[in-house]
Chain A
Amino acid sequence: MDQQILTTILNDTFTVTQLKHRLVMLKSYLTKKLFGTSDETNLEQTDLNWLSSLGEAFYQKFTKDNVYQILNDLQTQTNQIVPLTIYLPFEVEQSSSAQIGSFARTSFNHPTLLLEVRYDPTLIAGCALSWKGIYRDYSLKAKIEDKKEEILTTFKSFLR
């Protein structure tokens, strides 16, 4: 059952940061819903939208007896997920990271793939990926380093 819950959450959650944030939010929402007395909430509208997008069937899986157990299991499973780290030369907004995440899931045929987005301005352009301890650099910086001699020779030909 936990796996189903996690799969539902991961449907439109693409980054590790987003997942962690949403799990905290879900915990807060569920404890208030199951054990609280007032309907007041301090969650942002985007978060409320996401919570409501999960559907009534999703919330029916949680009861007063199992909620903490399920949330703890979810946390354990989340810690075991190996994310794909992507290094980008610019800072991405949430909407862009969703686009990149969706593209990565389709490209790598991995429906629950999570991204860890890191900012590295030295890449200049393009990106670098890291997966299970292997780092592959597809950036402009790597290209320039590969063709360093060629570029220098070309530049030197313009020297008078």
Chain B
Amino acid sequence: MNQQEIGYVASSRDFLVNLDGLPTIHINDMVESDQGLRGWVNSLSADTIEVLMVDEGNIFPKQLFKRLPTRLGIGVGDFLMGRAINSLGIPIDGKGPLSKMKSAPLMELEQAAPGIDSRQFIDRQFLTGITLIDTLIPLGRGQRELVMGDAHSGKTEFLIDVIVNQKGTGVICIYASIGKPAVSVRNLIDTLGANGALEYTIIIATSSSELAPLIFLTPKTAMTIAQYFQSKGKDVLLVLDDMGTHAKIYREIALLGNKPPGKESYPGDTFYQQAHLLERAGNFLPQAGGGSITALPVLELNLSDFTTLIPTNLMSTTDGHLLFKSNLYSQGQRPAIDIALSVSRVGRQTQDRLTNMLSLRIRSLLSSAQDLETISRFSSELSADSQLILRRRDLLLEMLKQDPLTAIPLSIQVILLSLVFTSFLGNKDRSFVEKYKKVLIEAFLKQPKLLPITKFLDKFKSDEQLIRTLEGVEPVLAKICQ
């Protein structure tokens, strides 16, 4: 005689099924119908079990559901590298089945975030190779930074750049594409593949046409895989693109389950869902694996409005945010980040002293320039000092522009931005920087007279000292830029 727990369908609505029976079932246990359709237990009440289906098929009254021995989880291992899977671990890249998935250790998708006793201070910078980020809004390894902005403001472009720039750094990149059209997932795989970034990247993607519960699980699966690699001591970059879709899917599930709608019709525990997930990222102590998870949740905004429920929720669960603007994008600024409205709450502590001082100088310049710009609208004549500040602001913004799929080493970033404060660029305009930026980068990487500055940048005690040194090589620079 064999014995197992079963339940019968009491009612069903779309992908949500209520079952009777299953006396000792728990939340996140898996069940399967007699026709092989799987679901997971989402909530329990005194007389019914709410199951969210992950397989499509017909559900009929009194249909039998068996409890499965496994819980909601995914087989994880190094075999996932370079692959694209859905939220249940099924390959979607056409590269064949993942045979090792069955024998791999199963990690539950739903886990409590590690406590404070397993975390450590974020003290290593996460280098993106993008000047604007690494100098002005630096990220730390283990930080959670929200990437938000309008549609078509270059968010995905920026994220792909960050992933591509991790080549050779040992960072493992995990990209969760949540409910996006299948064609954009295909493009992502192709772009990463063409730039040699796929070998250290794992893509977890569910398309917009899939069942809502499957889409809902995507960031959880991505985070679970990230935790596996973090527990092996690796530094992981996790991109969750985007959490707005995730929130909408959760709203759909909750409304179907008759949960009372709250603000903007989202259920009351939306904040919990997001915070509970993002709390799992961080920088961990050696006894907890030693690695880190740097999480970049993405959020698409409506007309740059970040004062609504989901943006404010996510802003309060992260350690800062990057605000992308479509008007900056259309003006040709790449990345189209609004520097004044973007923050990084823990990144600055990971920067070296020189970059930090330079960053402060730049922020002060940008702030002064903004004030002067307002005044300049009312007065026709500006003093020479004021004109210099405005010109330096323009040069700086030009220096911060970066072509897609390019990485600039941190030392070069610092030198380029310091150049703005030298007399060499004092009387030059934007077009000069645009024309000679690449030449200057090459020179500081190869020119024998300039190379020592790049090589021994960490020996400089202050940005003042660096600017003075750069003033000293002005004749060399002038010759290069002839």
Contacts and interface: CB of A to CB of B under 8 A. Distances in A.
Contacts of B22: 133
B2 A133 contact: no
Contacts of B66: 135
Contact of B6 (A135, A138, A142): A135
Interface in B1-60: 1-7, 20-23
A151 B25 CA distance: 34
A80 to B, nearest CB: 11
Contacts of B20: 133
Contacts of B3: 134-137
Contacts of B21: 130, 132-133
A145 interface: yes
Contact of B2 (A130, A132, A146): A146
Contact of B5 (A133, A138, A145): A133
Contacts of B7: 133
Contacts of A130: 6, 21
A132 B19 CA distance: 12
A19 B158 CA distance: 67
A134 B23 contact: yes
A61 B66 CA distance: 44
B1 A136 contact: yes
A23 to B, nearest CB: 18
B49 to A, nearest CB: 9
B422 to A, nearest CB: 78
Interface in A40-85: none
Interface residues of A, number: 11
- Max chain B Cβ within 10 angstroms of own Cβ: one of A132, A145, A146: A132
A106 to B, nearest CB: 21
A65 B4 CA distance: 48
A16 to B, nearest CB: 10
Contacts of B6: 130, 133-135
A112 B7 CA distance: 23
Contacts of A142: 1-2
Contacts, number: 32
Contacts of A135: 3-6, 66
A131 to B, nearest CB: 10
Nearest to A133: B21
- Max chain A Cβ within 10 angstroms of own Cβ: one of B1, B6, B20, B66: B1
Interface string A138-153: 1000100110000000
Contacts of B2: 136-137, 142, 145-146
Interface in A6-40: none
A132 B21 CA distance: 6
Nearest to A143: B1
A70 to B, nearest CB: 25
Contacts of B4: 134-135
Contacts of A134: 3-6, 23
Given A130-B6, A133-B6, A133-B7, A138 B1 contact: yes
A135 B7 CA distance: 9
- Max chain B Cβ within 10 angstroms of own Cβ: one of A135, A145, A146: A135
Interface in A70-129: none
B47 to A, nearest CB: 11
B1 to A, nearest CB: 5
A146 B3 CA distance: 12
- Max chain A Cβ within 10 angstroms of own Cβ: one of B2, B7, B20, B21: B2
A142 B21 CA distance: 22
A133 B5 CA distance: 6
Nearest to A130: B6
A135 B5 CA distance: 6
A137 B5 CA distance: 11
- Max chain B Cβ within 10 angstroms of own Cβ: one of A130, A136, A138: A130
A85 to B, nearest CB: 8
A146 B66 CA distance: 19
Contacts of A137: 1-3
B310 to A, nearest CB: 39
Contacts of A146: 2
A51 B430 CA distance: 99
Nearest to B3: A136
A132 B23 contact: yes
A24 to B, nearest CB: 18
A132 to B, nearest CB: 6
A132 B1 CA distance: 17
A134 B7 CA distance: 8
A138 B1 CA distance: 5
A71 to B, nearest CB: 23
Contacts of A133: 5-7, 20-23
Given A142-B1, A142-B2, 19 more contacts: A130-B21, A133-B5, A133-B6, A133-B7, A133-B22, A134-B3, A134-B4, A134-B5, A134-B6, A135-B3, A135-B4, A135-B5, A135-B6, A136-B1, A136-B2, A136-B3, A137-B1, A138-B1, A146-B2
25 contacts: A130-B21, A132-B21, A132-B23, A133-B5, A133-B6, A133-B7, A133-B20, A133-B22, A133-B23, A134-B4, A134-B5, A134-B6, A134-B23, A135-B4, A135-B5, A135-B6, A135-B66, A136-B3, A137-B1, A137-B2, A137-B3, A138-B1, A142-B1, A142-B2, A145-B2
Interface of A: 130, 132-138, 142, 145-146
Sort A-B residue pairs by CB-CB distance and give the 9 closest, nearest first. Answer: A133-B21, A135-B6, A133-B23, A133-B22, A137-B2, A136-B3, A142-B2, A135-B4, A138-B1
